[in-house]
Copies of this chain bind each other. A is one copy, B any other.
Amino acid sequence: MTDFFSVVGKQRACRSFTDEPVTDTLVEQLLEAATHAPSAENTQPWVFVVVRDPETRARIGGITAAAWAGVGSEFSRPRLAAGLFADVERGATGGVSEAPVLVVVAADTTNCVEAALAASIFPAIQNLLLAANAAGLGSALTTLPTFAGDLSAILDLPGHIRPIAVVPIGHPAGPLGPPRRVPVAEKTHRERFGDRW
């Protein structure tokens, strides 16, 4: 038994992994959770590519690092606290791709209208992340490698299969610490915007 609220309350992005393997059975259990997310009209437009091959992971790591050097780093540096920036940078320059499993989550654009695509993919990704945490593993939602055009070429994705996120899965290299969140009351309004909770 892994308590639902405990799993949700402890979610943190993990961007550094040990090389301890993750079995196919476990990967399948996590994907089973992912596929139980809702989607518009129950179209289930998700497509998963499970990458273990070190060479393919290194190529994905390479395009991630290039995207980070080209745009991400400059964009994020003034926006993030030093500690978070350093963690994201470690992840983007090798940490993420060193996870023993990379799940590339993509969307079949022929199976879902554009306006409903995000609503039909990100819940599945969130299930995948939570399930990894519930299983004692680390994971993270990374989209940087999807902005590099080469990801489709690396994975032989046809044009109608759009990569949405790369989710590294593995055993965390270190403790993740508690999440930092703005309190609910500051994000919530009653009946209409402006009347605070």
Q: Is the CB of A28 within 8 A of B184?
A: yes
Q: Tell me if A70 is interfacial: C-beta within 8 Å of chain B.
A: no
A191-B56 CB under 8 A given contacts A119-B143, A122-B118, A123-B122 = yes
Cα A79 to Cα B45 in complex, Å, equals 14
Q: Tell me if A74 is interfacial: C-beta within 8 Å of chain B.
A: no
- Bitwise, A97-109 to B at CB < 8 A (1) or not (0) is 0000000000000
Return chain B residues, CB-CB under 8 Å to A179: 36
In this complex, the member of A84, A125, A129, A187 whose beta carbon has the largest number of chain B beta carbons within 10 angstroms is A187
Q: Is the CB of B9 within 8 A of A36?
A: yes
A125-B123 CB under 8 A given contacts A3-B1, A41-B76, A192-B156 = yes
A131-B190 CB under 8 A given contacts A44-B182, A126-B122 = no
A38-B129 CB under 8 A given contacts A48-B187, A50-B188, A123-B123 = yes
Return chain B residues, CB-CB under 8 Å to A140: 38
- Bitwise, A1-19 to B at CB < 8 A (1) or not (0) is 1111101110101000000
Q: Which 3 A-B pairs have the closest CB atoms?
A: A122-B122, A118-B118, A123-B126
